[in-house]
Structure 1
Amino acid sequence: MSSATPSATSTTRLAATILMLRDGAEGLEVFMVVRHHEIDFAAGALVFPGGKLAAGDEDPRVRLRCTGIAGLAPEQITLRVAAIREAFEECGVLLARARGEQRLLGPARLAVLGPRYRKALDKGDLGIADMLETEDLELACEELVPFAHWITPAFMPKRFDTHFYLAVAPAEQLAVHDGTELVDSLWLRPAHALSQAAAGLHTLVPATELNVKKLGFSNSVGAALRATRAQPVVTVVPEVVKKPQGMRLVIPAEAGYGVTEFALPQAPRKT
C-alpha cells in the first residue's frame, strides 16, 4: 500500500498535534485531554492537544521568530507553529522563550500570557505572530520531534492530514485544559490510557489509540525520543478491506504500530 496518494490529500485539512511527555513515578506519561461532547469532531474523545492550521500560522513574520527550523520546508515550519499554538490554546503550555534566551518561559510569564492571549488566539482575533512580536518571543520549534502522520480515510465526512510530534513537557509549566472545547485533562501512562478505553471510561479514535500504543513501546521519555528519531515517519492512510471477519481498516506494517489492521470504528449511539 502506498504511503499517500494525491486524492487522499486533496480534500483534507492540515492539522498538527503534540504528544507532551514526562517521566512519572512509574515511567513514561503523556498529557491527554477530553473533548467536549457537543463539539463537531471527536466529541467526548480522549485526545492529544492539537487542531487544524490557522491562517496566522503561515504569517511570514512567524518564521522570523522560530528557532530550530533550518532546512525545513515552509509547510513543515507552519505545522510546527500550529502544533505549538494549539498546545498553548488548549492546555496553556507554550514552547517558547524570550528572544535571545536559552530557557523556555517560566510560570510567572505564562501566568500573564495565558489570560491575555489563549482565547484571542483560539477565536482568531489575532494571529500568533502578533503575540510573538508584542511579547518579543521565539517559538522553540526544535523541541518538536516528528512522530507520526495520519490522513483520515476517504470515506469519512471530515478529513484531516495530521502530523503528530513528541515534545518534552517544560518542567516549570503547568498543563491545564481550556474548559471550553476540552473538559478534562490527565497525565496517563500509555497502558493506562488503553485500559481506560477498553473499560469504556474514555473513547479513543483509531489514530489516537494506535499512537498511544506506539508510544507505550518505550518506558521513558528518553527512550521514546531515541526510538522516534531512529525511525522514519511513514504516512498512514487507512484503507477499507473486506476480510473474513468483516470490513477492516488496513495500515502499512512499516508504520511501526505492531498491527496492520483493525476494526472500523463504531458510530456513536444516539441517546
Structure 2
Amino acid sequence: MAQSSGEPVVPRPAATVLLVRDAPDGGLEVFLQRRVSGMAFAGGMTVFPGGGVSSSDVPDPTRWRGPSPAEWGRRLDCEPELAGSFVQAAIRETFEECGVLLAGAADGPPVPLPDAERWRDDLNERRRTLGELLVDHDLVLRTDLLEGWARWITPPANPRRYDTAFLIARVPDGQRADDRTTEAVEARWWTPANALRAYEGLEIELMAPTLRTLQELGEHGSAGDALTAAPGRSITPVIPRVRREGSSVSVVLPGDPDWETAADHLTPKGPA
C-alpha cells in the first residue's frame, strides 16, 4: 500500500525466469504463461514464470552451489541479501509454476526427482518451504545454471509495484515445463518471433518488460547463444517512463524516441 496519499508505493522484490530451450527445428524457444484474467497484478497478460520474493527465500550457504549471493549482487546491482533472495525466489517460483527444479545433488546435475509433484504441491500450499525440501532430500540450489538478464521496476504511478530480477536458464535435461498452475490459463513454448507477432495481432497482451525481453531474446539463434551473451549484459534497474496525451497514457522504454521527454513518474491520485 502507499505510504500516504500521492506517495508512490515501495516496490516489492520479485523474480522471473526466462526458461529457454532449442526449438526442434532450430532457433530458441521461451516458456510463457497467460495469467488468469482476474489476478490483481498483470491479469490476462502473457508473462514469464515468476512471482514475489517470500519471507522464506533466505539462502542457506550449505544448500547453494554456484555464484554466491555477493557475486549475484554484483551482477544484479544490489546488496547480496537481496540478490540471494532474488535467486532463491526465481528457483522456487519456477518449480511451483511450471515444475522445473534448478536443484540437484551436490555432486551431480539436476535430474527428474521422485515425488516431485508432491513437493510442488507442498510448496504451493505453503506446507513446506523450498529450504526445508532441499534439506529433506539432500539437494542444493544450482545457481550456476542461471544467468542475470535484467532488472525492471514498476513505474511509481502503479498501485502495485515490483522490483523484478529477470534471470535466464535452460531447462535441465530430463525435465519439462508444464501448465499445472492455478495462476495461468495457458502455458507453452513460443519462439520470440511468434510471440511478438501474436502481440502485434492483438492475440496476446504483453507488459513492457516482457515485450522488450522478447525482442532481445529474438536476437539470439539458440538457447546457448542467449546464455553465452547474458554475462556480458550490463544490468541496472530500469523504470519505464510514461507519456500522457490527453486521457491516454503509454509506457516509454529506454531507447524509444520519447524517452528523454517522457515523465519519470505520474503521481497516483489518492491512496493506492
- TM category (shorter chain) comes to 0.7 to 0.9
Shift, 1:247, TM fit = 4.9
Percent identical among aligned pairs is 35
Letter in 1 for 2:31: F
Q: Is the 8 A contact 2:19 2:170 kept in 1?
A: yes
* 2:50 is the alignment partner of 1:50: yes
Q: Which residue of 2 aligns with 1:186?
A: 188
Letter in 1 for 2:17: I
Seen in structure 2, the aligned counterparts of structure 1 residues 193 and 214 have a Cα distance that, compared at 3 Å, is same
Seen in structure 2, the aligned counterparts of structure 1 residues 172 and 261 have a Cα distance that, compared at 3 Å, is farther
Q: Is the 8 A contact 2:179 2:188 kept in 1?
A: no
Q: Which residue of 1 aligns with 2:266?
A: none
Shift, 1:227, TM fit = 2.2
Q: Is the 8 A contact 1:31 1:185 kept in 2?
A: yes
Q: Which residue of 2 aligns with 1:23?
A: 22
SS at match of 2:57: helix
SS at match of 1:129: helix
Shift, 1:88, TM fit = 0.1
For the aligned residues, what is the CA RMSD?
Answer: 2.3
Q: TM-score, normalised by structure 2?
A: 0.82
SS at match of 1:57: coil
SS at match of 1:85: helix
Q: TM-score, normalised by structure 1?
A: 0.83
Structure 2: where are the runs of 5+ without partners?
A: 1-6, 72-79, 263-272
SS at match of 2:56: helix
Shift, 1:23, TM fit = 1.0
Shift, 1:155, TM fit = 0.5
Letter in 2 for 1:56: S
Give a deviation string over 1:152-182, Cα, whole Å, max 9, x none: 0001111000000010111210110223112
Q: Is the 8 A contact 2:147 2:231 kept in 1?
A: yes
Q: Which residue of 2 aligns with 1:67?
A: 65
Give a deviation string over 1:51-75, Cα, whole Å, max 9, x none: 00111112x5x33201113343122
Alignment coverage as a number of residue pairs = 244
Instruction: Write the mapping of 1:215-254 to structure 2, written as runs, cut at 5 A.
Output: 215-241=217-243, 247-253=249-255
Q: Which residue of 1 aligns with 2:201?
A: 199
* 2:146 is the alignment partner of 1:147: no
1:104 to 98, 102, 110: 110
SS at match of 1:193: helix
Letter in 1 for 2:14: A
Structure 1: where are the runs of 5+ without partners?
A: 1-6, 254-258, 264-271
Seen in structure 2, the aligned counterparts of structure 1 residues 195 and 116 have a Cα distance that, compared at 3 Å, is same
- How far apart, in 2, do the equivalents of 1:125 and 1:261 lie? 48
* 2:89 is the alignment partner of 1:78: no
Q: Which region of structure 1 is more displaced relative to structure 2, 220-229 or 124-133?
A: 220-229
SS at match of 1:14: strand
Q: Is the 8 A contact 1:249 1:261 kept in 2?
A: no
Letter in 1 for 2:115: V
Give a deviation string over 1:122-176, Cα, whole Å, max 9, x none: 2322211111111111110111111011000001111000000010111210110
Q: Is the 8 A contact 1:248 1:261 kept in 2?
A: no
Q: Which residue of 2 aligns with 1:162?
A: 164
- How far apart, in 1, do the equivalents of 2:183 and 2:126 lie? 15
- How far apart, in 2, do the equivalents of 1:45 and 1:243 lie? 24
SS at match of 1:179: coil
Letter in 2 for 1:14: P
- How far apart, in 2, do the equivalents of 1:226 and 1:131 lie? 31
Q: Is the 8 A contact 2:20 2:169 kept in 1?
A: yes
